[in-house]
């Protein structure tokens, strides 16, 4: 059986643990770990795969753990969401240093940092990139190095 170097999928959604950005300790942000992750993501992108990242914030704060220690649950969840934005910005910085066009989106209004993610944001993004993803948590959209397809499938499909 002949193996193909062609990627199986044209688009992927990759969920990254915040702890992975913390390096060996899993706490805080380890620049070496972030840059290594960005390099690997860029390698996938260079294969022609469109990548959307969803990044956790457990290396900085965990909402549930905070609520177990007396922080109001909703407040702890917001703190965790802010941690995901911090992680998204760290990875965005590393990706852009590699020449990768990115966009951080969030469901939390913070107009000077991420773009606001809303119900109509996917259609606007799909006009720019040829595809989109929408989520409650922050996401980094990574634009492909090749022109987007003329038609956008509604489901992920193998190539």
Residue in this structure with the two tokens 């606001």, named with its chain if needed: 116
Identify the helix (H) or strand (E) that includes residue 87: helix 73-97
* pLDDT of the residue at 112: 66
Query: What's the token pair of residue 142?
Result: 């990574």
pLDDT for the residue numbered 134: 42
Alpha helices in 14-72 (DSSP H): 18-21, 31-46, 63-68
Nearest alpha carbon to residue 56 among 88, 94, 31, 27: 88
CATH number of 11-142: 3.40.1160.10
The single-letter DSSP state of residue 41 is H
Strands 139-142 and 50-55, bridge-based pairing: antiparallel
From first to last of its 159 residues, what are the pLDDT tens digits of the chain?
Answer: 566 778 899 999 999 999 999 999 999 999 999 999 999 999 999 999 999 999 999 999 987 788 788 998 888 888 888 899 999 999 999 999 999 989 888 887 776 666 666 555 554 554 555 444 444 455 666 665 544 444 444 454 454
Structure confidence at residue 75 (pLDDT): 84
pLDDT of residue 144: 57
**Domain ranges across the chain:** 11-142
Residue 137 tokens read as 């948590």
Residue 143 CA: distances (Å) to CA of 12, 82, 84:
12, 24, 20
């Amino acid at each position: 059986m002949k193996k193909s170097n062609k990627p199986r999928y044209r688009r992927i959604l990759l969920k990254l643990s915040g702890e992975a950005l913390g390096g060996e300790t899993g706490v805080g942000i380890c620049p070496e770990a972030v840059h290594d992750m960005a390099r690997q993501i860029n390698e996938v992108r260079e294969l022609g795969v469109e990548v959307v990242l969803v990044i956790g914030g457990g290396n900085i704060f965990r909402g549930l753990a905070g609520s177990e220690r007396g922080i109001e649950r909703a407040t702890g969840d917001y703190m965790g969401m802010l941690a995901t934005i911090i992680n998204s910005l760290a990875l965005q910085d590393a990706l852009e240093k590699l020449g990768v066009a990115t966009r951080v989106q969030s469901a939390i209004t913070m107009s000077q940092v991420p773009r606001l993610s809303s119900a109509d944001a996917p259609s606007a993004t799909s006009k720019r990139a040829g595809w989109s993803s929408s989520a409650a948590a922050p996401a980094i959209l990574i634009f492909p190095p090749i022109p987007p397809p003329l038609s956008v499938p509604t489901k992920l499909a193998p190539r």
